[in-house]
Structure 1
């Protein structure tokens, strides 16, 4: 945590009104229709967009506009009537701005949901009122819990097809809440809706007077979401070194980048990782102006008192709160590539601005999302698999636990041959040892 108790300016990140959220659910639960209804009823659809949807709907023999087409943008999606890619949409109301990710419902697109929910502060999980909580519902709840999404909305859709019965909604809400709570989801809000008819999406439903809670949009507008990254461990990944070497500033040396979390102050002692060298911040430049304090997610240039060898990929952290470095990484990963991830595979690991060579030393288990059981020693992970991996890197890394920071606790595994992203990782327990393990290089420098 930041060592100073000095309050930050009110214009900092805590004052933002942006909410990132993702939708998830089984096929045909109505995710895209819900998103389309939100956009349409909140007056966030341009006239030409609505006209295009009306035209596409008529060409498919539909009399009324199919609002799902506002998010199902790919031709393949429209032909199949399903969402197969993450559709991002941006809209705003007078109370808040939104970035939404409409994610696919098919099992084979679990990786797409991970992509869409990885930065979300809220997930809307849809359930068909006729079917209740199904296998894919439990999968999506498990992924939301795994990614530590702080707020989950259970939207029990198609209430019009069960005659708006309160008993149906209550049974589904109780089952899902019990399951999600066991997974560790901190906050669950259940809302009965009909996305097609518009009940409880933007306007309260006259058909469900027994429900006294918020509509979906009202909850999205008012849910307390903290963007105050200044409360997190302060971390500054260096993107590049600035040395203008001008007559006016002959000795200028600044380290530029975006503050990933926390706040930095002039006069604060920081540690450079992975070297472990320390220095003191002498100046912070933001947008060409000198400031005494800067916080996430500002992009700044930091200057230090000492001439230290610092380059892209190094990490600055307050000396009193510097993370440990290690060449051993144990993490949970979601495999997103079509080619499998295998034990002994040579990869690149990208963490913030640092990319290092690495080898997959072990795959201890694969998670079965259906019942949350562990399949031991699978030997490989294929597309959409979620599992535990142990990776050894060629150089030390300063990873936080994902539970402490979604920004500096995450990483990517990359195919060194073509740059394909293989897996998205969430760092867990560190396996750093007291003694450094000497690297034994092969002819390509990969065995370590």
Structure 2
């Protein structure tokens, strides 16, 4: 199969509309805003602990990366909050933060040119389960009248648009673990083709509930290292035994470059390229030859108009499962060749677990912050090398580095692959 060829950074003839990141907001297990999230990562602090949202004592995995201390009433009217699922609470909160960070105010001057495109893996799963429980115990007529809408996967997108008055392009990406990364890529495409000037994009998930833990335990996908929660997520380590379920939201403000410059907006980074595809291999396991992941990385680099040797940092999917980490390492080595051992690779999930649909969005933010601050957060709990995972994973300590271009990988259930390339903004 011929490799995709790099294209000029500005697109054919330099005519492609450039897209920059001007604002970010985050709700995470490490903190309820971007600065706390980022400082926690740089310190190598784990946000993983015993599950508190339900009694998990009957399950092999009893830990998760829960969001603690979050009060939706700081961002949402109490009456409106009752109509939303927890995932929508996270989304609206992170979106409000991102607008403030971008120095954008509402009502928007041109509301039809502001869109919302979010990713999620499941939507309101805990609320759906709660509704079923209410029906069984009290009857269907005792349901919350908004239960039917709260559980829908597109509701976080709706509530962000409705709360902020964004009446432009609106869509939801539901591609499991790849959804956050793919949503940023798709939102970039919306701006590139002229359908919007501003997009609020990213991902959200809030499924730390009994059904999710039970399902992943039955799949044997979760770690059972319950006695040391902070050491349980071990991407690329020889003793890794599964991922840790997380939750949260990451929302980015994307803007067409001239729109951002025209209002003097702060610019974190430029979105240079993206790609998404499918392994079409297995519902839960990665292709052992990593063909889809390889192609997604190559196509994202080609879309950015760069070669592998220009990438200064890779934010890995890095879940901590035996199969995924080995397959991703193989894919990186195939794409980067001899340079693979020289480019730093780290896993955000080593500290915040796997936030599913929110993961890729939070990791895109990590890449933008890495470019801004010229420092790479570590992969914590990397203690025992695995011959199948033999790259530079930035073990256990943050590392200052010259970073102009980053690659972020997300590979999800259902054979979903998505990759995103960010770069330092240059006029």
TM-score w.r.t. length of structure 2: 0.28
Q: Structure 1 or 2: larger helix share?
A: 2
Q: Which has the higher strand share?
A: 1
Higher-RCO chain (CA-CA 8 Å, sequence separation at least 6): 2
TM-score (norm 1): 0.27
